[in-house]
Amino acid sequence: MTANQKMTMRVILTEADIRKVILHSRPSTVKDLITKLRESLGLQYNFSLQFQDPEFNNELCNLTDLQELPEKPTIKVLPVFDLVPVSSDDVFSDTSTADTEILSHSPQDRREPWPEFFDIPTFSVDVEYRLRQADLLFMSEGTHLKVSKELKHEILERLAESMYSYTAYPTAAQFESVATALINKHPCLQERGSVTRCCGWKNSLKHKMGNYRTKRRQSGCLDVAVNAGKRGRHSSDGQPANKRIKKAKKGEINYLPNFPDGFDQAALEEARKDLADEMQKRTPNGLLVKQKMDQTFALRRKEVVDSEPPINMMVKRWPALFTEDQVFMEFSRIVGKNLKQEFYENIDRHSPRFLELFRSKRGNVGQLLTQISQQTNVSSYKLCLVLRGLPIILGDNPSTFFKAGFESDADFFRDLDIGILLTEREEAVLTSAQHPSPTLLKIIIEGEVVMENIQDLPKAMCILFGLTYALHLNYPKSMKLTFLFIQQILLSLGHTDLKPKIQSLKNQLTM
């Protein structure tokens, strides 16, 4: 076969994304083929190729020579995980950023949270032409487009695909935002007799999204497959219906991702063992730890979401997860945000107004806030004061969350489900009754010390909040409003509907 002939092939990107590709000239080498596929498919990651070999019943084999390919081959793209150079000085350093990327992401990983304003995607050429002509007619004559069944199907299918790239389970407000954006971009699609002019589109999107999830479940996508047996129709024989629906509720964009292409559970478990062995060393290889943590992210999420193992098992299986750097990186993998940066920037931005509110409060709340404020008036401790006063002003009960004691009292925190422990040495001398000097801060989960030697309270709160996402934990009941405030106000994650006390505090902060 000559090099200038066309080449037609079937390219498997994922189980749910299989494309027909036609090259105008046949590449001369495997490297040339990879380059042409990258350009043709718009792939931004490195990959290797396998092909279905007719000599072995079309089983996949690594592609090393183009002469082995049949006339119209089926080729599978396998992403290759590439290391990004990282300075050894940055390994496990306090200044490393949570959004450092060391591996190319799977094409199925979500990168962005739901946008503030939903951007309607581009439809097929035919659909775009018909909508453009109908929009012109609507603007000149006010004529609404009579949407055919086939046209509506294509519009809804494309919108469902775009919505799924952000979340598998959109909220009512998100469906509303998509329907509104659709009629704003294409006014010919407005509905007569509807208050919002898009109620029908909103309802249709809900049904289409359910159908789209079914397709994704059948193709093996874990974030929807985990809920397959909700009504018992998809449950295995003898298994009860799945009554507990597992879906992202706190703004997670990679709630339950699929395993990376080319890796199954056994391969990822081997990588996990290598990671655990590395963490046993006195000085672990930070670059290797980051690589393995990124590689095994999907396996770890499957464990914490699907199995919900006890915390002592997670500490044993994933020791790297309980390091400061990896808490922040795991949060970035799940949410796509830099927890450390956004937490400190936003709490610092609101702290002057918080301190004004503390001083204005009266009654029991005012007395408690005054006691906390009197502990120190040094400006560098204002973040600590804000975080101690926040639960009081919201009506939480921090006494069951913040615990204090001496190092010799080894078991007094065993009944603490989740919280922060401030411990002192008995021989430590206090500067005064109003200025206690805790020497150690520890994070407690399920009565276990999971992290210790934390420098200050703001960092401990920031890390513990990250762990609630990394370990898929419920917020502590006694501090639920405080954690929701951090989630919804400081980090702008999840639902925009606020509890009354949080809404009231938000209003007071913006006055």
pLDDT, tens only, 436-450? 444 678 999 999 999
Average pLDDT, whole number, for the chain?
A: 84
Output the CA–CA distances (angstroms, integers) from residue 445 to 172, 297, 325, 390, in the order listed. 34, 21, 19, 21
DSSP classification of residue 426? T
Question: 70 or 415: which carries more pLDDT confidence?
Answer: 70
Q: Which two tokens stand for residue 185?
A: 């971009």
Question: What's the whole-model pTM score?
Answer: 0.71
Stretch 170-192: mean pLDDT: 94
Query: Token match 């706190």: residue?
Result: 250
Q: Is the pLDDT reported for residue 434 higher than 70?
A: no
Query: Token match 């029908």: residue?
Result: 200
H-state helical runs in 280-338: 286-295, 297-302, 311-317, 324-335
Per-residue model confidence (pLDDT) at position 412? 66
The β-bridge relationship of strands 47-53 and 59-62 is antiparallel
Measured CA angle at 247 (ends 246, 251), to 5 deg:
145
Torsion angle of alpha carbons 276, 277, 283, 286, nearest 10°?
A: -50
What pLDDT band is residue 429 in, cutting at 50, 70 and 90? Answer: very low
How much of the chain exceeds pLDDT 70, in percent? 84
Q: Is 49:63 a contact under the CB 8 Å cutoff?
A: yes
Question: 420 or 372: which carries more pLDDT confidence?
Answer: 420
What pLDDT band is residue 77 in, cutting at 50, 70 and 90? Answer: confident
Q: Identify the CATH number of the domain defined by range 7-79.
A: 3.10.20.90
Q: Which two tokens stand for residue 443?
A: 């994070």
In the chain, the amino acid numbered 32 is: D
Domain segments of the chain as ranges: 7-79, 125-219, 265-320, 339-427+434-509
Highest averaged pLDDT of the listed ranges 105-109, 195-199, 413-417: 195-199
Q: Is the pLDDT reported for residue 235 higher than 80?
A: no
Instruction: State the first-to-last Cα distance of the chain, in angstroms, to the nearest integer.
Output: 74
Q: Tell me the C-alpha distance between 486 and 353, whole Å.
A: 16
Q: Tell me the C-alpha distance between 61 and 59, whole Å.
A: 7
Stretch 39-57: mean pLDDT: 84
Question: 83 or 392: which carries more pLDDT confidence?
Answer: 392
